[in-house]
Amino acid sequence: DIQLTQTPSSLSASVGDRVTITCRASQSMTRYLNWYQQTPGRAPKLLIYGTSILQSGVPSRFSGSGSGTEFTLTISGLQPEDFATYYCQQSYSDPDTFGQGTRLEI
Amino acid sequence: QVQLQQWGAGLLKPSETLSLTCGVFGASTSDHYWSWIRQPPGKGLEWIGEINHRGRTKYSPSLKSRLSMSMDTSKAQFSLKMTSVTAADTAFYYCARARDHGDFDSWGQGTLVSVSS
Protein backbone atom coordinates (compact mmCIF):
# COMPACT_ATOMS: atom_id res chain seq x y z
CA ASP A 1 0.00 0.00 0.00
CA ILE A 2 1.15 3.56 -0.64
CA GLN A 3 1.44 5.45 2.63
CA LEU A 4 0.74 9.17 2.61
CA THR A 5 2.27 11.38 5.29
CA GLN A 6 0.96 14.90 5.69
CA THR A 7 2.95 17.69 7.29
CA PRO A 8 2.27 19.47 9.45
CA SER A 9 -0.35 17.52 11.42
CA SER A 10 -1.72 20.81 12.70
CA LEU A 11 -1.19 24.39 11.76
CA SER A 12 -2.17 27.72 13.27
CA ALA A 13 -2.68 30.66 10.93
CA SER A 14 -4.59 33.92 10.57
CA VAL A 15 -7.10 35.24 8.09
CA GLY A 16 -5.22 36.47 5.03
CA ASP A 17 -2.23 34.16 5.50
CA ARG A 18 -0.81 31.87 2.86
CA VAL A 19 -0.38 28.28 4.02
CA THR A 20 1.05 25.15 2.46
CA ILE A 21 0.33 21.56 3.41
CA THR A 22 2.61 18.80 2.16
CA CYS A 23 1.69 15.21 1.36
CA ARG A 24 4.59 12.78 0.94
CA ALA A 25 4.04 9.38 -0.63
CA SER A 26 5.96 6.22 0.24
CA GLN A 27 6.57 5.59 -3.48
CA SER A 28 6.59 7.65 -6.63
CA MET A 29 3.28 8.24 -8.33
CA THR A 30 1.75 10.51 -10.93
CA ARG A 31 -1.40 12.57 -11.23
CA TYR A 32 -3.75 10.61 -9.00
CA LEU A 33 -3.37 12.75 -5.93
CA ASN A 34 -6.46 14.49 -4.60
CA TRP A 35 -7.19 16.93 -1.76
CA TYR A 36 -10.24 17.27 0.49
CA GLN A 37 -11.50 19.69 3.11
CA GLN A 38 -13.58 18.49 6.05
CA THR A 39 -15.39 20.58 8.64
CA PRO A 40 -16.81 19.07 11.85
CA GLY A 41 -19.91 16.96 11.33
CA ARG A 42 -19.70 17.12 7.54
CA ALA A 43 -18.56 14.80 4.78
CA PRO A 44 -15.26 15.66 3.11
CA LYS A 45 -15.39 18.06 0.19
CA LEU A 46 -13.22 17.64 -2.90
CA LEU A 47 -10.93 20.61 -3.52
CA ILE A 48 -8.24 19.47 -5.97
CA TYR A 49 -7.98 16.37 -8.16
CA GLY A 50 -5.30 15.08 -10.47
CA THR A 51 -2.68 16.91 -8.36
CA SER A 52 -3.54 20.40 -9.59
CA ILE A 53 -7.04 20.56 -11.11
CA LEU A 54 -9.42 22.78 -9.19
CA GLN A 55 -12.80 21.17 -8.57
CA SER A 56 -15.73 23.15 -9.95
CA GLY A 57 -17.00 25.71 -7.47
CA VAL A 58 -13.87 25.73 -5.33
CA PRO A 59 -12.32 29.19 -4.86
CA SER A 60 -9.15 29.93 -6.81
CA ARG A 61 -7.20 30.63 -3.60
CA PHE A 62 -6.79 26.84 -3.39
CA SER A 63 -4.08 25.34 -5.55
CA GLY A 64 -2.24 22.04 -5.80
CA SER A 65 1.10 20.98 -7.22
CA GLY A 66 3.70 18.29 -7.02
CA SER A 67 5.08 15.16 -8.58
CA GLY A 68 6.89 11.98 -7.68
CA THR A 69 6.56 11.60 -3.94
CA GLU A 70 5.88 15.17 -2.82
CA PHE A 71 2.66 17.07 -3.31
CA THR A 72 1.38 20.32 -1.85
CA LEU A 73 -1.88 22.11 -1.22
CA THR A 74 -1.59 25.88 -0.95
CA ILE A 75 -4.25 28.27 0.29
CA SER A 76 -3.51 31.88 -0.60
CA GLY A 77 -5.36 34.42 1.50
CA LEU A 78 -7.04 32.36 4.20
CA GLN A 79 -10.71 33.03 4.78
CA PRO A 80 -12.60 32.21 8.00
CA GLU A 81 -14.39 29.29 6.31
CA ASP A 82 -11.04 27.66 5.43
CA PHE A 83 -10.30 26.63 9.01
CA ALA A 84 -10.89 22.90 8.75
CA THR A 85 -9.07 19.58 8.38
CA TYR A 86 -7.44 18.74 5.06
CA TYR A 87 -6.70 15.28 3.66
CA CYS A 88 -4.73 14.07 0.68
CA GLN A 89 -5.72 10.85 -1.06
CA GLN A 90 -4.03 8.71 -3.71
CA SER A 91 -5.73 6.50 -6.26
CA TYR A 92 -2.55 5.66 -8.20
CA SER A 93 -2.24 2.23 -6.65
CA ASP A 94 -4.79 -0.08 -5.04
CA PRO A 95 -5.92 0.24 -2.35
CA ASP A 96 -6.71 3.93 -2.25
CA THR A 97 -5.18 5.55 0.81
CA PHE A 98 -5.54 8.85 2.66
CA GLY A 99 -3.11 10.98 4.57
CA GLN A 100 -3.69 11.30 8.29
CA GLY A 101 -5.01 14.84 7.96
CA THR A 102 -3.84 18.37 8.71
CA ARG A 103 -5.90 20.46 11.10
CA LEU A 104 -5.83 24.15 10.21
CA GLU A 105 -6.71 26.34 13.19
CA ILE A 106 -7.08 30.02 13.75
CA GLN B 1 -26.11 17.87 -9.48
CA VAL B 2 -25.27 14.48 -8.07
CA GLN B 3 -26.70 13.68 -4.66
CA LEU B 4 -26.08 10.59 -2.58
CA GLN B 5 -28.40 9.61 0.23
CA GLN B 6 -27.50 6.73 2.49
CA TRP B 7 -29.33 4.73 5.12
CA GLY B 8 -28.92 1.70 7.36
CA ALA B 9 -28.76 0.50 10.94
CA GLY B 10 -26.69 2.65 13.24
CA LEU B 11 -26.34 0.43 16.29
CA LEU B 12 -25.00 -3.10 16.13
CA LYS B 13 -23.81 -5.74 18.56
CA PRO B 14 -20.46 -7.48 18.12
CA SER B 15 -20.57 -10.28 15.53
CA GLU B 16 -23.57 -8.77 13.73
CA THR B 17 -23.59 -7.68 10.10
CA LEU B 18 -23.37 -4.04 9.07
CA SER B 19 -25.69 -3.19 6.19
CA LEU B 20 -25.83 0.19 4.45
CA THR B 21 -27.41 1.36 1.20
CA CYS B 22 -26.71 4.48 -0.83
CA GLY B 23 -29.17 5.99 -3.30
CA VAL B 24 -27.85 7.95 -6.27
CA PHE B 25 -29.77 10.95 -7.57
CA GLY B 26 -28.91 13.09 -10.57
CA ALA B 27 -26.43 10.68 -12.12
CA SER B 28 -26.31 7.30 -13.75
CA THR B 29 -24.81 4.43 -11.83
CA SER B 30 -23.61 3.09 -15.19
CA ASP B 31 -20.74 5.55 -15.04
CA HIS B 32 -17.87 5.62 -12.56
CA TYR B 33 -17.19 3.51 -9.52
CA TRP B 34 -19.27 3.84 -6.38
CA SER B 35 -17.38 3.70 -3.13
CA TRP B 36 -17.55 3.31 0.62
CA ILE B 37 -15.23 5.16 3.00
CA ARG B 38 -15.26 5.21 6.78
CA GLN B 39 -13.96 7.46 9.53
CA PRO B 40 -13.75 6.49 13.21
CA PRO B 41 -14.88 9.40 15.39
CA GLY B 42 -12.08 11.95 15.66
CA LYS B 43 -9.80 10.02 13.31
CA GLY B 44 -8.85 9.88 9.65
CA LEU B 45 -10.44 8.46 6.52
CA GLU B 46 -10.19 4.83 5.41
CA TRP B 47 -11.20 3.54 1.98
CA ILE B 48 -13.34 0.40 2.25
CA GLY B 49 -14.03 -0.53 -1.35
CA GLU B 50 -15.95 0.22 -4.54
CA ILE B 51 -18.23 -1.27 -7.15
CA ASN B 52 -19.21 -0.42 -10.72
CA HIS B 53 -22.43 -1.01 -12.62
CA ARG B 54 -21.20 -4.40 -13.85
CA GLY B 55 -20.70 -5.55 -10.31
CA ARG B 56 -16.92 -5.40 -10.52
CA THR B 57 -15.60 -4.79 -7.03
CA LYS B 58 -12.38 -3.67 -5.39
CA TYR B 59 -11.99 -4.17 -1.65
CA SER B 60 -9.54 -3.03 0.98
CA PRO B 61 -7.24 -6.01 1.63
CA SER B 62 -7.58 -5.54 5.38
CA LEU B 63 -11.38 -5.83 5.23
CA LYS B 64 -11.87 -8.02 2.18
CA SER B 65 -12.78 -11.21 4.02
CA ARG B 66 -15.76 -9.51 5.70
CA LEU B 67 -17.04 -7.36 2.83
CA SER B 68 -19.71 -7.69 0.23
CA MET B 69 -20.88 -4.93 -2.10
CA SER B 70 -23.74 -4.98 -4.55
CA MET B 71 -25.27 -2.68 -7.14
CA ASP B 72 -28.89 -2.33 -8.24
CA THR B 73 -28.78 -0.16 -11.33
CA SER B 74 -32.58 -0.30 -11.76
CA LYS B 75 -32.99 1.46 -8.44
CA ALA B 76 -29.78 3.52 -8.71
CA GLN B 77 -28.61 2.11 -5.39
CA PHE B 78 -25.53 0.34 -4.14
CA SER B 79 -24.99 -1.45 -0.87
CA LEU B 80 -22.35 -2.48 1.63
CA LYS B 81 -22.37 -5.46 3.94
CA MET B 82 -19.67 -6.13 6.51
CA THR B 83 -19.89 -9.26 8.62
CA SER B 84 -18.66 -10.01 12.13
CA VAL B 85 -18.37 -6.40 13.26
CA THR B 86 -16.43 -5.44 16.37
CA ALA B 87 -16.00 -2.21 18.31
CA ALA B 88 -13.11 -1.39 15.96
CA ASP B 89 -15.68 -0.99 13.16
CA THR B 90 -17.40 1.88 14.96
CA ALA B 91 -17.17 4.79 12.53
CA PHE B 92 -18.95 7.22 10.28
CA TYR B 93 -19.55 5.41 7.01
CA TYR B 94 -19.79 7.44 3.81
CA CYS B 95 -20.79 6.48 0.30
CA ALA B 96 -19.14 8.42 -2.51
CA ARG B 97 -18.70 8.57 -6.28
CA ALA B 98 -15.22 7.92 -7.65
CA ARG B 99 -14.37 9.70 -10.90
CA ASP B 100 -11.62 9.07 -13.46
CA HIS B 101 -8.80 10.41 -11.28
CA GLY B 102 -10.05 8.27 -8.43
CA ASP B 103 -11.28 11.43 -6.75
CA PHE B 104 -14.45 11.35 -4.68
CA ASP B 105 -16.51 14.29 -5.90
CA SER B 106 -19.89 13.50 -4.36
CA TRP B 107 -20.51 12.13 -0.88
CA GLY B 108 -23.42 10.85 1.12
CA GLN B 109 -24.30 12.52 4.39
CA GLY B 110 -22.62 9.82 6.44
CA THR B 111 -24.02 7.23 8.84
CA LEU B 112 -22.60 6.68 12.30
CA VAL B 113 -22.42 2.96 12.95
CA SER B 114 -21.73 2.09 16.57
CA VAL B 115 -20.82 -1.42 17.65
CA SER B 116 -21.44 -2.13 21.31
CA SER B 117 -22.66 -5.00 23.41
Cβ atoms B113, B37 nearer than 8 A:
no
pLDDT in tens, A6-34: 999 999 999 999 999 999 999 999 779 99
pLDDT in tens, A65-98: 999 999 999 999 999 999 999 999 999 999 999 9
Average pLDDT over residues B49-64: 95
Chain A neighbors of B44, CB-CB under 8 A: 87, 98-101
Terminal C-alpha separation, chain B: 40
Decide if A103 touches B, using CB distance below 8 A.
Answer: no
CA dist A39 and B88 (Å) reads: 23
Query: From the CA atom positions of chain B, what is the Rg in Å?
Result: 13
pLDDT in tens, B76-96: 999 999 999 999 999 999 999
Name the band, by pLDDT with cuts 50, 70 and 90, for residue B31.
confident
Cβ atoms B25, B5 nearer than 8 A:
yes
The mean of the pLDDT values for chain B is 96
Min distance B47 CA to chain A CA atoms (Å): 6
Min distance A58 CA to chain B CA atoms (Å): 12
